[in-house]
């Protein structure tokens, strides 16, 4: 069954003995994140901190296993637990292809309205925002849905931009021009000297959280796609201090406005690629106008920087389990023949692998060009194209393709050396190159590259799936753990 709220999702984890309750008091000041990092590193249960200054925190609730990063995301969608990645991707794509319009409920039916605080009652510091890494610029809310409307239409964007808490009423929000919500702010609201009304919904139901990290085309209703993922309409409720609607089952909602031409410090931060990037920079200011929340709210957070190498966290798992299927669908919708588009499993966002049956030079260039100018513009530096029978989530297979089939002479394609935009969330540019630019992007431009690691028919396997299947049966009979074996049956599409 699809989880209809974060609480329901956590209950499901607990039923599966996959939740670790810590009832002893725990500090938001590095202690909760230290325990969570430990759990992430050990690939163990999800820690729920039940007493953190009177509220609750949950650390990396959607982290998947190292071998199957999509596991807990699938659980949140009520999908079977033993799906292969191909099956999982296709099921998510199927749901995204069946969007369902949201419904609006009254305040009395919205758990996120259990407590309503506006005006002088608003105090962000009433809540235990975690201080995640020593060296971070401050305390963060970094696992939430930022809801912001277009200035010129009915479109409302849902996205995922971390916010650094400054005091009881303000926070700085990481807005990097080039992404949808930041563009609305920098090139519409700020240019008209208008504040952008926003809501930050924290502890939302799984389908909403997953949709927030997907690149939903401009103009499309994100709540409909969340409804598609959920399999039923998302319930929304109106905000108290602006006209936005927010998911009714959210644990906590911060209402406010991102004001024009005002900036506050943001960062440094231990970020998704596993390093603490700096320096501290200026980001737009969020002024809070209201806070509503459930009784005893649960605030989820992500220990960024741990989703690299052999360790997963919520961001890295959502990159595989949410962004991957969404990107695959997007490329297919754009007319590209793509088997699967998935991130390099051990470092989210910087590299994607695309399995495609075509190795035509012009086609691959066009495909890379399409992505680099759309959703892959700011964070993604590399695309690797591999044969359709290569599993993009199997790093061994992708590295092999890269080593054996990508000819340095003709298969590495750079889009110039210093021509393309980049976010300052990187470690290969100096602070001077990054600058502190008003729109959040780096001052210095950078390069993007794609790598053609398709085989051109040289040295590819001539698989006989029946023989492989029989061989795997023999191994299973001999006692090999069947989890190790894919059992791909051409007649059944997998076991």
The nearest distance, CB 67 to another protein, in angstroms, is 7
Smallest gap, in angstroms, from Cβ of residue 492 to another protein? 18
Size of the site for another protein (CB under 8 A): 96
317: left (phi over 0), alpha (psi -120 to 50) or beta: alpha
- The residue (of 21 and 332) whose beta carbon lies closer to another protein is 21
Distance, in Å, from the CA atom of 62 to the CA atom of 302, rounded to the nearest integer, reads 9
- Please report, as residue ranges, which positions from 379 to 398 form the binding site for another protein (by CB under 8 A): 381-382, 394-397
**Toward another protein, which CB reaches closer, 35 or 283?**
35
Among 11, 16, 44, 106, binds another protein (CB under 8 A): 44
Q: What are phi and psi of 324, to 5 degrees?
A: -60, -55
Peptide bond between residue 69 and the one before it cis (omega within 30 degrees of 0): no
Residues 314-343 that bind another protein (CB under 8 A): none
Q: Min. distance of Cβ 69 from another protein in angstroms?
A: 11
Query: Please, which contacts does 457-462 make with residues 24 or more away whose CB atoms are closer than 8 Å?
Result: 458/405, 459/404, 459/405, 460/387, 460/389, 461/389
Name the one range near another protein by CB under 8 A: 93-101, 289-297, 299-307, 332-340: 299-307
The only residue of 177, 402, 437, 488 in contact with another protein, by rule CB under 8 A? 402
- β-strands 340-343, 196-202 pairing: unpaired
CB of residue 262 to another protein, shortest distance in Å:
28
What's the token pair of residue 82?
């033993």
Of all helices (H) and strands (E), which one includes residue 33?
helix 31-41
The β-bridge relationship of strands 252-266 and 245-247 is unpaired
Site for another protein in 350-379 (CB under 8 A): 350-351
**Within positions 4 to 33, which residues make up the interface with another protein, using CB under 8 A?**
17, 20, 22, 24, 26, 30-31, 33
Q: Does position 447 bind another protein by CB under 8 A?
A: yes
What distance in Å separates the CA atoms of residue 464 and residue 223, rounded to the nearest whole number? 44
- Alpha-carbon span 275 to 252, nearest angstrom: 30
Phi-psi map region of 203: left, alpha, beta (phi>0 left; psi -120 to 50 alpha): left
User: Please, which of residues 407-446 interact with another protein by CB under 8 A?
Assistant: 407-410, 412, 414, 416-418, 426-431, 446
Euclidean distance between CA atoms 77 and 59, whole angstroms: 19
Between 190 and 271, CB nearer to another protein = 271
Which of 14, 262 has the CB closer to another protein?
14
Contact between 494 and another protein per CB under 8 A: no
Q: Provide the minimum distance between the beta carbon of 27 and another protein in the complex, in angstroms, as a whole number.
A: 8
H or E segment to which residue 116 belongs: strand 115-118
Q: At what angle do helices 85-96 and 222-230 cross, to 10 degrees?
A: 130
**CB of 316 vs another protein, minimal distance in Å:** 11
Q: Is 133 in the site for another protein (CB under 8 A)?
A: yes
Q: Which of 80, 101, 106, 135 binds another protein (CB under 8 A)?
A: 135
Beta pairing class for 382-386 and 449-452 = parallel
Nearer to another protein, 26 or 83 (CB): 26
Q: 287: closest CA among 461, 167, 169?
A: 169
According to CB under 8 A, which one of 80, 106, 309, 335 is a site residue for another protein? Answer: 309
Closer to another protein by CB, 47 or 300: give it: 47
Minimum CB distance to another protein smaller for 10 or for 156: 10
Residue closer to another protein (CB basis): 163 or 306 = 306
Contacts of 94 (CB under 8 A, 6+ apart): none
- Binder among 154, 310, 491, 492 for another protein (CB under 8 A): 310
How is the beta sheet containing 46-52 ordered, strand by strand?
A: 19-22, 46-52, 55-59, 298-301
User: Among residues 133 and 245, whose Cβ is nearest to another protein?
Assistant: 133
Residue whose CB is less far from another protein, 95 or 277: 277
> Using the rule CB under 8 A, is 81 a contact of another protein?
no
In this structure, is the dihedral angle defined by the CA atoms of residues 3, 223, 338 and 373, taken in order, positive or negative? negative
Residue 191 or residue 395: which is nearer to another protein going by CB?
395
CB-count exposure of residue 97 (10 Å: 0-12, 13-18, 19+) = exposed
Name which position in 405, 423, 441, 454 contacts another protein (CB under 8 A).
Answer: 405
Choice from 399, 438, 493, 495 touching another protein (CB under 8 A) = 399
Decide whether 20 or 264 has the Cβ nearer to another protein.
20
What is the footprint of another protein within residues 215-234 (CB under 8 A)?
none
- The footprint of another protein on residues 459-488 (CB under 8 A) is 459, 467-468, 470-472, 474-475, 477-480, 484-486
Pick between residue 78 and residue 486 the one whose CB is nearest to another protein.
Answer: 486
What one-character DSSP code corresponds to residue 186? I
Phi, psi at residue 439, to the nearest 5°? -95, 5
The DSSP element (H or E) to which 270 belongs, if any, is strand 269-270
CA distance 317 to 346: 10
Window 92-111: contact mask with another protein (x via CB under 8 A): --------------------
Nearest distance from C-beta of residue 430 to another protein, angstroms: 5
User: For another protein, which stretch binds (CB under 8 A), given 112-120, 144-152, 362-370, 449-457?
Assistant: 449-457
Name the phi and psi angles at 298, rounded to 5.
-110, 120
């Amino acid at each position: 069954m699809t989880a209809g709220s974060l609480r329901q999702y956590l209950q499901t984890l607990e039923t599966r003995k996959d939740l670790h309750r810590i009832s002893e008091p725990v500090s938001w000041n590095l202690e909760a994140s230290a325990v969570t990092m430990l759990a992430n590193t050990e690939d163990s249960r999800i820690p729920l901190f039940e007493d953190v200054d009177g509220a609750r925190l949950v650390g990396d609730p959607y982290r998947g296993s190292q071998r199957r990063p999509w596991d807990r995301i699938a659980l949140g969608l009520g999908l079977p637990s033993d799906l292969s990645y191909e099956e999982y991707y296709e099921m998510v794509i199927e749901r995204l292809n069946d969007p369902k319009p949201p419904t609006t409920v009254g305040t009395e039916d919205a758990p996120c309205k259990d407590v309503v605080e506006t005006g002088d009652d608003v105090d962000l510091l009433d809540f235990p925002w975690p201080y995640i890494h020593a060296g971070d610029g401050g305390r963060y809310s970094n696992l939430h849905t930022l809801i912001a409307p277009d200035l010129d239409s009915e479109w409302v964007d849902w996205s995922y931009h971390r916010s650094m808490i400054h005091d009881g009423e303000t926070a700085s929000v990481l807005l990097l021009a080039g992404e949808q919500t930041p563009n609305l702010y920098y090139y519409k609201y700020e240019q008209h000297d208008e504040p952008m009304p926003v809501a930050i919904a924290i502890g939302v139901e799984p389908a909403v959280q997953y949709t927030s990290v997907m690149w939903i085309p401009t103009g499309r209703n994100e709540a409909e796609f969340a409804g598609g993922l959920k399999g039923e309409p998302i319930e929304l409720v109106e905000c108290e201090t602006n006209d936005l609607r927010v998911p009714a089952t959210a644990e906590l909602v911060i209402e406010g406005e991102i004001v024009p031409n005002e900036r506050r410090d943001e960062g440094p931060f231990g970020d998704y690629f596993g390093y603490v990037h700096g320096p501290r920079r200026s980001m737009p200011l969020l002024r809070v106008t209201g806070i509503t929340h459930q009784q005893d709210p649960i605030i989820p957070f992500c220990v960024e920087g741990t989703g690299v190498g052999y360790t997963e966290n919520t961001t890295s798992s959502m990159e595989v389990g949410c962004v991957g299927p969404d990107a695959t669908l997007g490329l297919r919708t754009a007319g590209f023949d793509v088997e699967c588009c998935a991130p390099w499993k051990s470092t989210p966002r910087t590299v994607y692998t695309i399995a495609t049956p075509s190795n035509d030079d012009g086609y691959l260039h066009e495909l890379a060009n399409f992505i680099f100018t759309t959703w892959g513009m700011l964070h993604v530096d590399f695309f690797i194209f591999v044969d359709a029978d290569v599993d993009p989530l199997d790093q061994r297979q992708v590295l092999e393709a890269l080593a054996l089939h990508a000819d340095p002479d003709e298969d590495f394609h750079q889009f110039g050396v210093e021509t393309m935009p980049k976010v300052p969330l990187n470690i290969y540019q100096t602070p001077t190159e990054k600058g502190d630019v008003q729109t959040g992007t780096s001052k210095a431009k950078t390069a993007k590259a794609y790598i053609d690691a398709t085989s051109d028919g040289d040295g590819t396997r001539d698989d006989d799936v029946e023989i492989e299947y029989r061989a795997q049966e023999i191994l299973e009979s001999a006692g090999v753990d069947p989890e190790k074996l894919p059992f791909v049956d051409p007649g059944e599409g997998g076991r």
